Structure 1
Amino acid sequence: MEISTLIQPVSIGIEVILVILGLAIAVRKKRCYGWYIALTFGIYVVYDSAHLIGVQVSQNVLSGIFFIATLSILIGIWKIYSEPDSTVTGCNRGKEGQ
């Protein structure tokens, strides 16, 4: 059995988790960039699932959906980047004044 056969379902599972987290960010945290994260990884789930079960999709359709996914994550990341610094926590927590 090829490693890609084993990795594909795991990858799809991680993508589903990312969709759920994106939706939680949008709904529970009320951050609009969560919708863009969910859309991007939702597209990846559909594409990877179709590939896993052998659905044939034209190159034009693939190019279009990947463009939408790329644009979606670009908007989401831009919105994260554009948030005021006072709302950002995480990696810099506890390093104030450095």
Structure 2
Amino acid sequence: MDIAGLIQIVAILFECAVALIAVLIAVLKGRSYGWLIAITFALFALSDGVRTFSPYTFPRLHSLILLIASAIMLYAVWMIYTESQKTVRRNSYTDPVAEWKKSA
């Protein structure tokens, strides 16, 4: 195995690690986007694994897997963005009565 093949295997292992950590985020933290990230990186690992170990089988399948994974990741990032916006709005609210009492 050449160095490029070894690097590809390490990259697949990293993708699997990201998928596992994303499952932990989903289960332990209760964040639904964790499942989407896990699915995305599992699809990336699957695509890279198939491409590495049997490069001449189903070339269109690789493109389809990457398209689906990218769409799922786009939705996950959108969920993270909207959740962070809710947090910013919630933290930026100041109660005018409480502020008035502090200044009095």
Shorter-chain TM-score: what band? Answer: 0.7 to 0.9
Alignment of 1:2-17 (within 5 A): 2-17=2-17
Q: Per-residue CA shift, 1:16-70, capped at 9, x if unaligned?
A: 1000011011111100100110011000111111122225332332222111100
| Higher Cα Rg, which structure | 2
* 1:75 counterpart residue number: 75
Q: Contact 2:26–2:32 at 8 Å: present in 1 too?
A: yes
The structure carrying a bigger helix percent of its residues is 2
- The list of structure 1 runs, each at least 4 consecutive aligned residues, that deviate by more than 6 angstroms after superposition, is none
* 1:93 counterpart residue number: none
Alignment of 1:26-41 (within 5 A): 26-41=26-41
1:20 matches 2:20: yes
Pair 70,50 (structure 1): closer, same or farther in 2 beyond 3 Å? same
Q: TM-score, normalised by structure 2?
A: 0.74
Q: TM-score, normalised by structure 1?
A: 0.78
Q: How many residues align?
A: 88
Moved more, 8-17 or 56-65: 56-65
Displacement of 1:76 in angstroms is 0.5
Unpaired runs of at least 5, structure 1: 89-98
